[in-house]
Amino acid sequence: MSSNHKRLSMGGRIDREQPVEFTFDGRSLIGYRGDTLASALLANGVTLVGRSFKYHRPRGIFSAGPEEPNALVTLATAGKREPNLPATTLELADGIVAESQNRWPSLAFDVQSVSGLFAPFLSAGFYYKTFMGPTRRAWMFYEHFIRKAAGLGRAGSDPDPDRYDISQAFADVAIVGGGPAGLSAARAAAAAGARVALIEQDFLLGGQLLAEPSDSAAAAWLRQAEAELESSETVTLMKRTTAFGIYDGNVIGLVEQRDPTNPQLAGEARQTFTMLRARSIVFATGAIERPMVFSNNDRPGVMLASAARTYLNRFAVLPGKKIIVATTNDSAWRAVFDLADAGADVTVADLRAAPPAALAAEAARLGVVVRAGTHIVDLRGGHAVRRATLNGPDGQSEASCDLVCVSGGWSPTVHLTSHLGVKPQYHDDIGGFVPGAFPADRFGAGSMMGNYSTAGAIEDGHRAGTEAASFCGKSAPAPTPSKLDLGETATALLFEIPSVGRGKAFVDFQMDVTTGDVELAHREGYESVEHLKRYTTLGMGTDQGKTSNFAALASMATLRNATIPETGATTFRPPYTAVALGALAGRAIGHHFKPIRRTPMDGWHMANGAEMLEVGLWMRPYFYRQSGLDVNEAYVAEMRSVRQAAGLMDISTLGKIDVQGPDAAIFLDRIYANGFAKLPVGRARYGVMLRDDGIVFDDGTTTRLAENRFFMTTSTAKAADVLSRLEFLLDTAWPDLRVAVTSVSDEWAAMSVAGPKSRAILSAAFPALDVSDAALAHMGLLESEWQGRALRILRLSYSGERAYEIYVGATAGEQLWTHLLEAGRPFDLKPYGVEALGALRVEKGHVAGPEIDGRTTLDDLGLGRMAGKRTGFVGDVLRRRPAFQAPDRQRLVGLECIEEGKRLRGGAILFLPDEKPYGHGHGRVTSVTFSPERGHYVGLALLAGDVASEGSEVVAVYPMKAETVRARIVSPVFLDSQGERLHG
């Protein structure tokens, strides 16, 4: 067979000067620029393109659009597999390598097609009924094989090599659909002065106009409309773009494909996900033709009548020479005439007893055989249709054919309109579902609203575009639209399932659902359309039932003796067609998944041996490689270094809030459990904030800088929450307090020098400052300058050692850090990371995040004395509730590991020694560390107050590693209980 033997030598919208090479199932073929993969396959006489989902029946190309149920291929180009792509929307480009799906060893000879013999066992709901024995576990055994047998494409498992992008867009009027209605709406809205976005999923504008001959009046109208819109400054044309979902606020989810035929774009994002925010939306999404239901209606060589016409007029492909067109309405006759005109031998089987005389007359002129009151009952032909059995007024007859075109009417494409709850309504006079009442900012036009004629669509689009622009306040008068009348006759869309033969009559091609399955569902009581869908799986494939929903609904309505509205319809949800997950992620993948936050000393850490750790969005030094071979060795060495000499820690990530105003002191008194109003200027205090329900919210240190000014620190994790909370109270609860709160987290680089040598180091680093204990007492503040930037030194300790927190302007952070290390060299000052930081505070018995976990109160944490006799602060009243005083409430204790060579783990559950370790236990371990001071593991835990006291033994159980460790309850302060080191 020669290449493109079904291609006509003239006509169509393909560029015969630009041939395109591609491969299908290993065969090298030629198509042309402007082809889809489907049109190129048809041109080359390929009729078999896949095997069906369940029964592995041979299938061919059914449609010319995204509603395609059968012709799903896998693209295996450039080291990437992408399955389940409809060949009918795949723009043909050089080098495409496509494979058919769901067949082995080959499309022509598929071993699993024998599953057709098992069909009776595989009917609807089979997995609830068959394969259920002999044992209860038997299903799991069968399921393994059944799952392998069913399915369509196979996904790849390599990382996606393509780039994707996300974009934000805005418009006054968004128009979905670039057919006659949409184009007309765009012209009207633009003329009225609105900013317009026209969205079209195809790579050409025109919609149904592309099914008209390329030298027709329709084509001229299209050219003119396109030229006008392209030259407008306020119109954005988005081709190759699918609107996949409509969201609240008239936000439209779009996916735009990169033009695959333009090699200059090869490095750009393959798909871009755009959120288009529109003030008003016009839906001009058209309608999808319905199949006819008869036995073996799924054979390769059966296609929608409008698809055949599109392949003929748009792609210059004559898919058959001996064609039967089976229809219930006038629209298919346009295909009849065009196919006959192109030289095919055409027979029309019109279900209606008396089709319009004008059509019959034209048919006679063209030599078309008209069989009125006739329908197809059955088809024969395995890999390609060859014979039809017809039923008419004169009884049954046979006719040979190589192409069968079907048209059971049209279903308006209402999916997007119903994403936000506008329920489709069935209209008898239209014979289909159209949207119910739109809200004020949404409009519909064209065949989506049941206006099936081109002239009607253009007028309707003009109206909708004008109204949509007017909604946005744009009402410059639009010129009347240029007319285009294609002479379509109004057609009542009749849908019936007349008699079928003995073979399977398919209702949903993709999911292999037959009329028999619908009947079975009905017999078994699954009558509601929601049950029908889920029991039979109809409409659940990648095509989401675009060509099957109506037939199934009509079928069930007939069985129930109900009307279509009584039978109902299922809900449409986004996405309209499949969206690659990569597109939704855009560039936020890998290390760009979330933004990275770095401290002013980050460069130094990276260059000086720090192993970095993600702590929320921040990068922090975990440990320094010079301290040890791995984290466990390193943190112990760093702890020792701090306790014996001194350590330097980057604490820039702490939340820092500037609190100012005449009422600042009153404000702090209300939000902290302990008092702050009387804190002297130049002093700092550790504070704890509660939530309104009495649970501890966060802790930090707040310093009084002046009468009306405080410097608050919070934990790193809660910084944003605390700021919002303060603003909430000021805006909604206490608006008369004159207080301003501002985040200054990034203003300051912060570092802590901790250890017995810390004062000496500070002295060496700041020779001009008096850092003696007399000048800088514990919890005191010293303010000064360094290198022209503000400097603050706070004497406070997290580790239990003498320590100082040093704050300097962020741009001087790294400089000060290296200066301190230099000054500290004679004293053995070493940097330490967050693992050691955490370990030191555990050894000292300080609570932190693992204890302040949103479930604990001040009393639970042993901090009840902080509140003393105070009242009137946030959380005070509810923290006193009886449940929080119960004797079995879990309270903070210390644990030391008493088994040689074993360790404690955070999260371990605590039991008594003689108990069986099942259930919730009596508490949990919250933080642990190896203690160099004690020589064994220690930890903080929350343990029920009435179960054991200091000195007793408990057992810490960690089921994830099957560990059981004995521990003794001790005071949580594991060293220096008198706090002498702070002053040492």
| Rounded distance between C-alpha atoms, residue 636 and residue 624, angstroms | 12
The residue assigned the tokens 């007492």 is 777
| Rounded distance between C-alpha atoms, residue 787 and residue 794, angstroms | 19
Residue 489 CA, distance from chain mean position? 44
Q: Residues 618-637: x/- map of binding to another protein (CB under 8 A)?
A: x-------------------
Which residue type, as a one-letter code, is found at position 284?
A: A
Q: How far is the CB of 656 from another protein (least distance, A)?
A: 10
Which residue lies nearer to another protein by CB, 16 or 277? 277
Which residue lies nearer to another protein by CB, 51 or 620? 620
User: Token pair for residue 282?
Assistant: 């016009």
H or E segment to which residue 100 belongs: strand 96-100
State which of residues 352, 386, 387, 738 lies at the interface with another protein (CB under 8 A): 738
Q: Residues 635-674: x/- map of binding to another protein (CB under 8 A)?
A: -----------------------x-xxx-------x----
Binding of another protein by 736 (CB under 8 A) = yes
Binding of another protein by 321 (CB under 8 A) = no
State which of residues 131, 438, 686, 734 lies at the interface with another protein (CB under 8 A): 734
User: Token pair for residue 265?
Assistant: 């774009």
Q: Give the number of other CB atoms < 10 A from CB of residue 934.
A: 14
Which residue lies nearer to another protein by CB, 255 or 943? 255
Q: How far is the CB of 588 from another protein (least distance, A)?
A: 7
Which residue lies nearer to another protein by CB, 227 or 733? 733
Q: How far is the CB of 829 from another protein (least distance, A)?
A: 25
Which residue lies nearer to another protein by CB, 114 or 266? 266
Which residue lies nearer to another protein by CB, 162 or 692? 692
State which of residues 745, 758, 797, 857 lies at the interface with another protein (CB under 8 A): 745
State which of residues 677, 681, 733, 898 lies at the interface with another protein (CB under 8 A): 733
Segment interacting with another protein, rule: CB under 8 A, options 81-89, 218-226, 638-646, 735-743 = 735-743
Q: How far is the CB of 266 from another protein (least distance, A)?
A: 13
Which residue lies nearer to another protein by CB, 494 or 733? 733
Q: How far is the CB of 413 from another protein (least distance, A)?
A: 23
Q: Residues 191-220: x/- map of binding to another protein (CB under 8 A)?
A: ----x-------------------------
**Interactions with another protein, residue window 584-613 (CB under 8 A):** 587-588, 592, 594-600
State which of residues 95, 151, 249, 907 lies at the interface with another protein (CB under 8 A): 249
Binding of another protein by 724 (CB under 8 A) = yes
**Interactions with another protein, residue window 855-894 (CB under 8 A):** 871-874, 877-878, 880-881
Binding of another protein by 256 (CB under 8 A) = no
Buried b or exposed e, range 382-403, using 16+ CB within 10 angstroms: eebbeebbbbbeeeeeebebbb
| Rounded distance between C-alpha atoms, residue 100 and residue 72, angstroms | 7
Length of the chain: 984
Q: How far is the CB of 13 from another protein (least distance, A)?
A: 30
The residue assigned the tokens 């869908």 is 533
User: Token pair for residue 439?
Assistant: 């809200």
Q: Residues 400-439: x/- map of binding to another protein (CB under 8 A)?
A: --------------------xx------------------
Q: How far is the CB of 705 from another protein (least distance, A)?
A: 11
Segment interacting with another protein, rule: CB under 8 A, options 113-121, 149-157, 166-174, 299-307 = 166-174
User: Token pair for residue 939?
Assistant: 């930890």
Q: Give the number of other CB atoms < 10 A from CB of residue 889.
A: 16
Q: Give the number of other CB atoms < 10 A from CB of residue 847.
A: 23
Binding of another protein by 169 (CB under 8 A) = yes
Q: How far is the CB of 342 from another protein (least distance, A)?
A: 45
Buried b or exposed e, range 492-516, using 16+ CB within 10 angstroms: ebebebeebbebbbbbbbbbbbbbb
H or E segment to which residue 149 belongs: helix 138-149
Binding of another protein by 265 (CB under 8 A) = no
| Rounded distance between C-alpha atoms, residue 78 and residue 95, angstroms | 9
Segment interacting with another protein, rule: CB under 8 A, options 315-323, 626-634, 726-734, 815-823 = 726-734
State which of residues 25, 692, 828, 899 lies at the interface with another protein (CB under 8 A): 692
Segment interacting with another protein, rule: CB under 8 A, options 103-111, 163-171, 216-224, 843-851 = 163-171
Which residue lies nearer to another protein by CB, 421 or 479? 421
Binding of another protein by 264 (CB under 8 A) = no
Segment interacting with another protein, rule: CB under 8 A, options 208-216, 241-249, 381-389, 926-934 = 241-249
Q: How far is the CB of 723 from another protein (least distance, A)?
A: 9
Binding of another protein by 232 (CB under 8 A) = no
Q: How far is the CB of 182 from another protein (least distance, A)?
A: 22
Which residue lies nearer to another protein by CB, 356 or 661? 661
Q: How far is the CB of 707 from another protein (least distance, A)?
A: 9
Calculate the CA dihedral of residues 390, 394, 395, 397 and round it to 10 degrees. Answer: -40
Which residue lies nearer to another protein by CB, 295 or 745? 745
Which residue type, as a one-letter code, is found at position 508?
A: D
Which residue lies nearer to another protein by CB, 571 or 632? 571
**Interactions with another protein, residue window 491-530 (CB under 8 A):** none
Binding of another protein by 748 (CB under 8 A) = yes
Half-sphere CA count of 770, side-chain side, radius 13 A: 6
By rule CB under 8 A, what count of residues binds another protein? Answer: 67
DSSP 367-416: T-EEEET-EEEEEE-SSS--EEEEEETTEEEEEE-SEEEEE--EEE--TG
**Interactions with another protein, residue window 39-58 (CB under 8 A):** none
CB 488, CB 359: distance < 8 Å: no
Q: Give the number of other CB atoms < 10 A from CB of residue 128.
A: 11
**3-state class of 618 per DSSP?**
strand
| Rounded distance between C-alpha atoms, residue 101 and residue 477, angstroms | 53
**Interactions with another protein, residue window 802-861 (CB under 8 A):** 809-811
Name the phi and psi angles at 23, rounded to 5.
Answer: -125, 135
Task: Select from 484, 489, 441 the least CA-distant residue to 462.
Answer: 484
| Rounded distance between C-alpha atoms, residue 945 and residue 709, angstroms | 41
Three-state SS letters, 915-970: CCCCCCCCEEEEEEEEECCCCEEEEEEEEECCCCCCCCEEEEEEHHHCEEEEEEEE
Half-sphere CA count of 209, side-chain side, radius 13 A: 31
Name the phi and psi angles at 807, rounded to 5.
Answer: -115, 130
State which of residues 367, 732, 767, 865 lies at the interface with another protein (CB under 8 A): 732
H or E segment to which residue 660 belongs: strand 655-660
CB 460, CB 449: distance < 8 Å: yes
Q: How far is the CB of 806 from another protein (least distance, A)?
A: 15
| Rounded distance between C-alpha atoms, residue 858 and residue 879, angstroms | 8
Which residue type, as a one-letter code, is found at position 654?
A: L
Dihedral sign, Cα of residue 356, residue 361, residue 366, residue 368: positive
State which of residues 81, 534, 640, 789 lies at the interface with another protein (CB under 8 A): 789
Contacts of 965 (CB under 8 A, 6+ apart): 897, 899, 902, 903, 904, 908, 955, 956, 958
Residues near another protein (CB under 8 A) are: 165-170, 195, 247-251, 267, 275, 277, 420-421, 587-588, 592, 594-600, 618, 658, 660-662, 670, 692-693, 708-709, 720, 724, 727-728, 731-736, 738, 740, 742, 744-748, 789, 809-811, 871-874, 877-878, 880-881
